[in-house]
Structure 1
């Protein structure tokens, strides 16, 4: 149901695509160089004797396999060589990319496929660390606005917004390349840094065309986590992986950054998944969704397809906030419990493992805003928490959800202090097996707070 969730975000104007070199490679059938290959080509064009290349790059035969220094440091060293010869490395990068990206190298079938996704709803944000201009020149040449540091920013007017956060060949001096450039980008409170973290915070994000080991990706996720603020609307992040991903990596990205991984999914699979679910998402979740007043009165309720989506609770909370419905409203809280009960029922369907994860996230989301112990919903809330605890596992265990454990373990601190006390009491009094990991969370909490007692 991940694609239904992403389709719902697209239909409700709250989807951001965070795209890397992999997307440009997709459009050119792999002709666009990786960042590593780009730096090597820059070095080749200035290092006639090959000494610099030998010092910076690692090879297996003639195949490049890595660098001897971190990539941004390599870029800094190569830039120094360019400066010695009174040349400009950023202008060289523009020349290299223009050589490999042109009408002859663009796969128009893949471009048309991507355009179909954009045409579903042009109110989409695209963030990219790519320097190339494939998106604006070939994929979306019309009805888009391109935002590059140091250039005037046009007002949004129903167009696709493309944010080149690390610069573009359209403005060579804007390119963020060396370690000094990255430090400046990180520490300068500019429009791009503010906009980037706002979009991560306030929209649902799909990461496309990056490797999980990508320096830019991990740096941005880390900064986003450190800059995250508490609000009624926080993003869900999906990472689209072409290959199968090791379970340890899945656990790391879920617990550290709240990133869900959709594995063995190509760019074409991603586009197909969203487009196939778009009509259902728009009709069921956006256009014909019950009003909050109808749901508070008990007259109507969301259909199962809507409740299966991860982002539904956040959309409900945001809608309530916009309508001036207080989080402390008794009728609203009872409605949220009904929603949780429906979510709980959906976990019992076949292959519904992601529903256990969503349920844990929803329980924590509610517990981070509502003082449960002061309301009539306490017993029902704790009953659902008990169900979530009982069906999770600290390690991979058939029939239990390790992802739900990761959510409880990593997001525990988001709970209000009074709610932590309620759940700690439940943990201590409940008969949970060691498999669930409840005792692990309890012991970790006790250890972290032993010096404060």
Structure 2
């Protein structure tokens, strides 16, 4: 993961994750409040406000809200008191509360706001959305491009559909709503699907937390597991958790908290999305330009049968070899398919050099072949090379190794090049060559060459 120091770093990381299919949103009640701000018909409620409404509609003394218990514990107390006062079962009282909550959270954004956020989400598509909200505001924004998942459902991934996973339930299924202490106790059973799934989602994606202040025990646990239990890494494809933190006077640049979460302060969620949207347009232009560069290099490598192209590459005419090797060296792993074309091109160059070496006394060709192999091994990260490509280089080095030296029948220039360049090969490359040589019975020349390092 690249270090994130500026707002532009945050935006670029988000755009990269979206492009790679590794962007996820974790949405809390603050998001719905921002969406419904100044809404004519609907209002968004906090958990405390919902419990107050429940007390009013269930005719329970609101002094119960002053209790220092957690919200789930207060919800349980309200239901117990309601069941006693109305001579019904506790389960019926819970059902009553969940129906009230279902009704109050069945809200809709205004059309103009919906259109803005639909544009934002479509331009920077997420692979998944997890929410602690009961409402279906996100479903209203995304329309038919999403699938809503209740807590008892599996995390379904369908092509071109964004799964919205309601871990605390969804308003159109009252029984799914998680509100009482018992509901939470059920969630924390060791085999609960949600509890097992959340850490993996967070570990494998760049997660943007919106309207959420890390107060929910489910999410705190998932973040802890993602950071401290599942400690596997994937190098440049490690992604951070980015929390949008509401404040009246936001700092310009992000900062990293002790738990590794990147904090990005915002005073207006719509402004954040608008700025991200504008940034993504420039990012997409830059990305399309890079795609054009990739395609132009693929077209170049497809000229492997053109003798002039191959000879110019071998001779590094106008720096063409340096340019192509540097391109491959900096190629992100998601473009690994380009190696298929590069493999064929380099193999053709090796065959051309073998032909050049056939005339009597053409020892220069061995030097040129060694130069090409060393250029690639020095500059291209070995971890990015497909095994087949590295194997072709190792076999080519074995072939030319028989002609590297200062005896009759050997290329003095190649011997001089090897003496000058072998120390520039990384330890990782040397180890990989040794492993390749030792795994085969026929690479005697390569083994002999490596003994001199």
Measure how far apart 1:240 and its partner are. Answer: 0.9
Secondary structure in 2 aligned to 1:187? coil
The answer to whether the 8 A contact 1:38-1:93 is kept is no
Compare CA radii of gyration and give the structure with the larger one. Answer: 2
Per-residue CA shift, 1:348-389, capped at 9, x if unaligned? Answer: xxxxxxxxxxxxxxxxxxxxxxxxx95589xxxxxxxxxxxx
Per-residue CA shift, 1:172-210, capped at 9, x if unaligned? Answer: 222222333223323343443343222211111111011
| Aligned pair partner of 1:4 in 12, 26, 42 | 12
The answer to whether the 8 A contact 1:11-1:286 is kept is no
Alignment of 1:295-334 (within 5 A): 297-299=325-327, 316=332, 331-333=379-381
Alignment of 1:216-365 (within 5 A): 217-232=219-234, 233-243=237-247, 254-256=257-259, 258-285=260-287, 288=290, 297-299=325-327, 316=332, 331-333=379-381
Aligned to 1:128: 131
The answer to whether the 8 A contact 1:6-1:204 is kept is yes
Measure how far apart 1:156 and its partner are. Answer: 0.4
The answer to whether the 8 A contact 1:28-1:101 is kept is no
Measure how far apart 1:158 and its partner are. Answer: 0.6
TM-score, normalised to structure 2, is: 0.57
| Aligned pair partner of 1:54 in 51, 54, 63 | 63
Unaligned 5+ runs, structure 2: 1-7, 299-322, 341-376, 385-425, 431-453
Secondary structure in 1 aligned to 2:16? helix
The answer to whether the 8 A contact 1:240-1:261 is kept is yes
> CA 1:140/1:92 → structure 2, altered by over 3 Å: closer, same or farther?
farther
* Aligned-partner Cα distance in 2 for 1:21–1:121: 21
Measure how far apart 1:213 and its partner are. Answer: 4.6
Measure how far apart 1:331 and its partner are. Answer: 4.2
> CA 1:283/1:114 → structure 2, altered by over 3 Å: closer, same or farther?
same
* Aligned-partner Cα distance in 1 for 2:124–2:382: 34
* Equivalences, count: 308
| Aligned pair partner of 1:148 in 141, 146, 150 | 150
RMSD after superposition: 3.9
Per-residue CA shift, 1:68-120, capped at 9, x if unaligned? Answer: 112222223223334444334355344345346445xx332221111002222
> CA 1:238/1:75 → structure 2, altered by over 3 Å: closer, same or farther?
same
The answer to whether the 8 A contact 2:250-2:267 is kept is no
TM-score, normalised to structure 1, is: 0.57
Secondary structure in 2 aligned to 1:149? coil
The answer to whether the 8 A contact 1:23-1:208 is kept is yes
Measure how far apart 1:29 and its partner are. Answer: 1.4
* Aligned-partner Cα distance in 1 for 2:229–2:76: 27
Aligned to 2:198: 196
Unaligned 5+ runs, structure 1: 58-66, 303-314, 337-372, 378-453
Aligned to 2:412: none
Secondary structure in 1 aligned to 2:24? strand
The answer to whether the 8 A contact 1:118-1:124 is kept is no
